[in-house]
Structures are given as structure tokens and as C-alpha cells.
Amino acid sequence: MTETNTRLGIWLMIGTSFVFAAQDALSRHLAAEYSVFLVVMIRYWFFAAFVIALAVRRSGSLRKAAATSQPTVQIFRGLLLAGEICVMVLGFTLLGLVESHAIFACYPLLVAALSGPVLGERVGPWRWAAIGVGFVGVLVILRPGHTVFAPAAAIPLLSAFLFALYGLLTRYVARKDSAITSFFWTGTVGAVAMTIVGIWTWEPITGPDYAMMATLCVTGVVGHFMLIKCYEVAEASAVQPFAYLQMVFAAALGLLVFGEVLEMNVVIGASIVVAAGLFTLWRNRRAGA
């Protein structure tokens, strides 16, 4: 991998982070007006269409794209991601973008903690130390005993757990399936599941919100396309730290668009969580080298 490609990959990851943050802001607005299930269902319809088109282009046919020896795990992965998105969007409506993303930032630490029992990987003392420090940061954000520590604060934490488990199972199925096969199952299973749940919450969408819903669907496709290109031109370990910028972009949108407040404990706690996550990524990259 050349330096030029790595630089391009970094810029693609930065762009992807901004697009996903914009998607989160749109989801926050729409989910406050309509059912979370309805918003996520329509989002998944367009995402599934993109996934199917990409799978056919890369694999040559739907049959080849869907071919897997582990369909149960692939289906479970798809259900996990759909559930995670619903939980996270609900968190946006209850806590806002700033606090939701600050808490969700702990998901790389959950990946590190769960990689032992799920994948059988060794978790060394340095990684456990980083995990412990990171969750101190989460406690700083939550402020146990204060009004911020409400039941709603558990929602982005649950979302982080579901996303971490989804990521680990993605690594698990990658031992036998190609990335495009996993991508195909993620999109199609999620679309079917959300349609079964969300179709019952259907309601007319007002004129201005049609534009926002369309933008939400477009940002989803654009964001995933940029992410795919990012991993094609650069190593994941080189660009992954820049994924934390999604939290920064989302917080900025929360402050500027929705009038959210940035508390000092959230800044300090999020900084601790991000630092612990970056240290974990650095240790993994060093171990890989």
C-alpha cells in the first residue's frame, strides 16, 4: 500500500465520517416526527437495492453473492445491525447526537473485550487496561448519581454492544465468506426484517420531510460506497482512527442544528474513551506488524 493510497484512504474515511454524521442528524429529525421503525425501514429499502446491485456487479449473479456455508450466522448479523440502528436512532431522539455518540464511542473497546469469548483471540493486559480506562470515560459521561444518568443513557451503550458483536461476527464469517457476500446478507436480511416490523407503522410523510427522507437514503448509499472505496485503497488499521471524527461531526451538528448543549463531563469522558480506543488500535497494529 503506497503512501498516496493511504492518504486517499484517510480522506475517504473523513468524508465517510461526515456523511454518516449527516445521516445521523437526518435520522434524529425524522425519528422525532415519525416511527423509528418507519424511518429505518425506508432507509434499508434503498440500502438493500444498493447492496444487491453491487453484489451482482462484483459476483456476477445473486446466487454467487448469496452463496454461504454459514447462513445462520449471516442472518443473525443482519438482524443485529438492523436492531442496532433502531436502538441508536431511538437514542438520538432521547439523548441527542452529542451524548449518544460520546457513549457509543466505546464500541471499539467492547470489540476488544469480546474478541476473546467470540473469536478466541488473546486479550493481553495492555488491552484490558485500555478497556478499563475507556469505561472510566463512559462513567464520566454518564455521571452516576446525577440527572444525566437516566435509563435513556443505556440506549447508546446497548447500541455500542450490538455493533461490537456485529463487527466481531463479521470477522468470524470472513474466515469463509467474501466481503461482498457478507455485505449482501447484511442489506437483504435487514431490509426484510425492518419491513416486517416497520410496515405496520406506515404513515403519510409530509412534503418537506420527503426531501429529508430521500437525502437520508442517498447519504446511506454514498457513505457505504465511500467506506468500501476507503478499505480498497488503504489498510483498515491506517484509516480506522479517523472514524472517530464521526463523533466530532455529529456533535457539531447537534450543537448547531438542534441546539444541544456540550457538557464538560461529556468532553472529558469522550476524550478518555477515544484515547483508550486509539491506544487499542495502536496495540493491534503493532501486534500485527
Q: Is residue 133 part of a domain?
A: no
Is residue 197 in a domain?
A: yes
Domain range for residue 83?
A: 3-97+152-260
Residue 134 located in a structural domain: no
With respect to residue 278, please indicate whether it lies within any of the assigned structural domains: no
pLDDT tens track, the chain, 289 positions: 444 577 888 889 889 999 999 999 999 999 999 999 999 999 999 999 999 998 888 888 888 889 999 999 999 999 999 999 999 999 999 989 998 998 888 888 888 888 878 777 777 787 778 888 888 888 787 765 554 456 777 899 899 999 989 988 988 998 898 888 999 999 999 999 999 999 999 998 888 899 999 999 999 889 888 888 887 787 776 777 888 888 889 999 999 999 988 888 888 888 898 888 888 777 766 665 5
Would residue 248 count as lying in a domain?
Answer: yes
In a domain, 49, yes or no: yes
Residue 14's CB is within 10 A of a number of other CB atoms, namely 18
Q: Residue 289 falls within a domain, yes or no? A: no
d(CA 244, CA 246): 5
pLDDT of res. 88 = 95
Q: What is the per-residue pLDDT for 174?
A: 87
Position 233 in a domain: yes
- Total domains in the chain come to 1
Report pLDDT for 185.
94
| CA–CA dist 82, 105 (Å, integer) | 19
What's this model's pTM, rounded to 2 decimal places? 0.88
pLDDT of residue 193: 97
What was the pLDDT predicted at 287? 63
